[in-house]
Structure 1
């Protein structure tokens, strides 16, 4: 399964919201990693990854999410997930990644938590 990924980032007084669409897998992970690196490097306080459009995520995609958390932390930026599809939320729970990655139901919920 290889849906070509795309992203869109908006920045406002609440911080950066990056919407990722398509597959996050072993084929697309270099592109997703580079895109998230750019978003994190340009972030001021926090990044919300809005994942509604993620159609598939394998272990390589999960690895990118965990890497992004560490990358954000190294830049003094808080990274959280929002609008996580049910299948990906299940993967996060089964692997214990939901204990490391903070997950919110909506972008507004994440912004409220982050003080936006």
Structure 2
């Protein structure tokens, strides 16, 4: 099991963050400050690459919604990139994909923001 982490890659007009590990109540104290830092250093567009997330429960969904709300309050846009799998399934089952835009790949998400 991978340790929870957020690795950022600045690319063009987007800040891409690769999220890895399990997003649950155990990892919440690790992820929350990292997400807060992401928002603080971001320009306008943040892509959260969830392809490295192996599990996501209600605490993980709460974190994603929190990032989205905090970013929006500061005038930034957060979108998700993740291929098919358990995380996409939970996003669809809970309706979170109706609030946050979900793309299949980081490239697809970056294309929307002009690179």
- Normalised TM-score (structure 1): 0.93
Shift of 1:11: 1.0
Q: Do residues 74 (structure 1) and 79 (structure 2) align?
A: no
Corresponding residue of 1:6: 5
Shift of 1:35: 0.5
Corresponding residue of 1:22: 21
Alignment length (residue pairs): 115
Corresponding residue of 1:34: 33
Residue 84 of structure 2 contacts residue 104 of structure 2 at CA under 8 Å; is this kept in 1?
Answer: no
Q: 1:33 to 1:91 in 2, by over 3 A?
A: same
> 1:80-110: per-residue Cα shift (whole Å, max 9, x none)?
0002451111111111111001000111100
Runs of at least 5 residues in structure 1 that lack an aligned partner in the other structure: none
Runs of at least 5 residues in structure 2 that lack an aligned partner in the other structure: none
Corresponding residue of 2:90: 91
- Normalised TM-score (structure 2): 0.93
Residue 24 of structure 2 contacts residue 56 of structure 2 at CA under 8 Å; is this kept in 1?
Answer: yes
Corresponding residue of 2:112: 113
| RMSD of equivalent CA atoms | 1.3
